[in-house]
Amino acid sequence: MSRLKTNKIFAFIALAIELAVLFVLFGKIRNLELSNQIEGSYNAIYILIIVAVVFALIIFILLISNKVSTDDIYSGKLTQIDEAKSKDRSSKIETEEETSNMEYYLNKILPKENAKLDLVKYTEKILNNIAKEFDIVQGLFFVKEKKTGMFNIAGKYAYFGEEQPKSFKSGETLSGQVAKNKTTLNLKEIPEDYVTILSGLGSSSPNNLLLIPIILNDETVGVIELASFKKFGKIIIELFESISDKIGKELIKL
């Protein structure tokens, strides 16, 4: 039995005992009055007994009301605890799902370790794998040259320009800023004509651009540009943050 129910039972018992004592006292006084064993008025005694009964009833009602309120509060706390536990379980499930998805994308995007690829094929393989998993309409992979410090184009996906993408130094252009700051840049409104996707029906410009630095030993060794007509979710950003070091290690070998 809960503590609240026990207190409620004790309150009923206490009230019953008090009322019983008052009625017995009332009967005794009434008998004395009828037998004239006590002289004087009994009105004051009767009033005190009535007041005692009313006071006892008020105390009991307040006590029961307090218990009900306490029950409600206690029930509310239990509900909050259950909701918190439910949120924790949901958060844990989401985290497990994200981790599972991350491992899936890692296996899908990174070329196999035993694959014999040169720099161009390696970077283009990554871009092609990204395009298969995400809605990418164009991709460029720039790699830093050690001697000059220039970031030169290495791999391309769905690039139809007549000229090669221009090289840049750290701090130059948007990609150069990304290389310098070592932070991913997610643009939802990109400069006009920054990227143009050509097709048999004409040309159109995607409105979402993701610039990703590839960092190794706190140095930017490459920059990936991804263009899409759809917004980039956080999963792809977290994905490249987790595999940036692995890609960087492969780049310096090629």
- Three-state SS for 83-125 is HHHHHHHHHHHHHHHHHHHHHHHHHHHCCCCCCCCCHHHHHHH
The pLDDT value given to residue 124: 95
**16-25, 33-42, 97-106, range with the lowest pLDDT:** 33-42
Q: What percent of the chain has pLDDT over 90?
A: 28
Q: How far apart are CA 101 and CA 95, in angstroms?
A: 10
Neighbours of 209 (CB within 10 A): 23
Strand partners, 151: 144, 168
Strand partners, 208: 228
The pLDDT value given to residue 93: 38
Q: How far apart are CA 94 and CA 99, in angstroms?
A: 9
Judged against a pLDDT cut of 70, whether residue 114 lies above it is answered with: no
**133-137, 162-166, 211-215, 235-239, range with the lowest pLDDT:** 235-239
The pLDDT value given to residue 98: 47
Residue-range domain boundaries for the chain: 3-106, 121-251
Average pLDDT, the chain: 76
Helix (H, G, I), strand (E, B) or coil at 228: strand
Q: How far apart are CA 40 and CA 32, in angstroms?
A: 11
Fill in the amino acid letter for 150: M
Band of the pLDDT at 112, cuts 50, 70, 90? Answer: confident
**20-24, 105-109, 250-254, range with the lowest pLDDT:** 20-24
> What is the pLDDT averaged over residues 214-229?
93
Q: How far apart are CA 228 and CA 5, in angstroms?
A: 64
Band of the pLDDT at 185, cuts 50, 70, 90? Answer: very high
Closest by CA position to 179, among listed 149, 220, 147, 215 = 220
More confident residue, 254 or 86: 254
More confident residue, 227 or 63: 227
For the segment 74-111, what is each residue's pLDDT rounded down to a tens digit?
Answer: 555 556 655 655 555 444 434 444 445 777 777 888 88
Band of the pLDDT at 73, cuts 50, 70, 90? Answer: very low
Strand partners, 111: none
Helix (H, G, I), strand (E, B) or coil at 217: coil
Residues 6+ apart with CB under 8 A from 161: 196
More confident residue, 220 or 91: 220
Strands 219-228 and 138-144: antiparallel
Judged against a pLDDT cut of 80, whether residue 69 lies above it is answered with: no
Judged against a pLDDT cut of 80, whether residue 183 lies above it is answered with: yes
Could you tell me which CATH number the domain at 121-251 has? 3.30.450.40
Q: How far apart are CA 140 and CA 167, in angstroms?
A: 11
The pLDDT value given to residue 168: 95
Closest by CA position to 22, among listed 1, 2, 48 = 48
Q: Token pair of 97, please?
A: 């799902």
